[in-house]
Amino acid sequence: MNYLELFKAFEYKDEFITLPYRLYTPNFDKSKKYPLVVFLHGAGERGKDNEKQITANKGAVIWATPEVQLKNPCFIASMS
């Protein structure tokens, strides 16, 4: 499974910082509420490439597997 395609790349910018992040959006019903899982990586995944937080380990991507999404559908944000 290509998680870089499932987790879309975005950047939050303001006058002080640029924060790259990835967001997984599940198949969802707009009439329902869903949780947001925020994955805060370790020191080995820091940087500005906006990929290491997804490819270096399974911390964020485990939540996007079909098995987990079937039982616990959720949005997933992972910061770089």
Q: Is there a domain that residue 6 lies in?
A: no
> Is a pLDDT exceeding 90 seen at residue 69?
yes
Q: Which two tokens stand for residue 12?
A: 């939050």
The four Cα atoms 65, 70, 71, 72 give a dihedral, to 10 degrees, of: 70
Q: What is the pLDDT of residue 57?
A: 80
Q: Is there a domain that residue 16 lies in?
A: no
Q: Is there a domain that residue 5 lies in?
A: no
Contacts of 47 (CB under 8 A, 6+ apart): 80
Q: pTM, whole model, 2 decimals?
A: 0.86
- Note down the domain range covering 49: 25-79
Check: CB of residue 26 under 8 Å from CB of residue 63: no
> Is a pLDDT exceeding 90 seen at residue 38?
yes
Scan for tokens 């616990």, then name that residue: 72
Q: Is there a domain that residue 69 lies in?
A: yes
Q: Is there a domain that residue 71 lies in?
A: yes
- Taking the C-alpha atoms of residue 38 and residue 4, their distance in angstroms, rounded to an integer, is 17
> Is a pLDDT exceeding 90 seen at residue 30?
yes
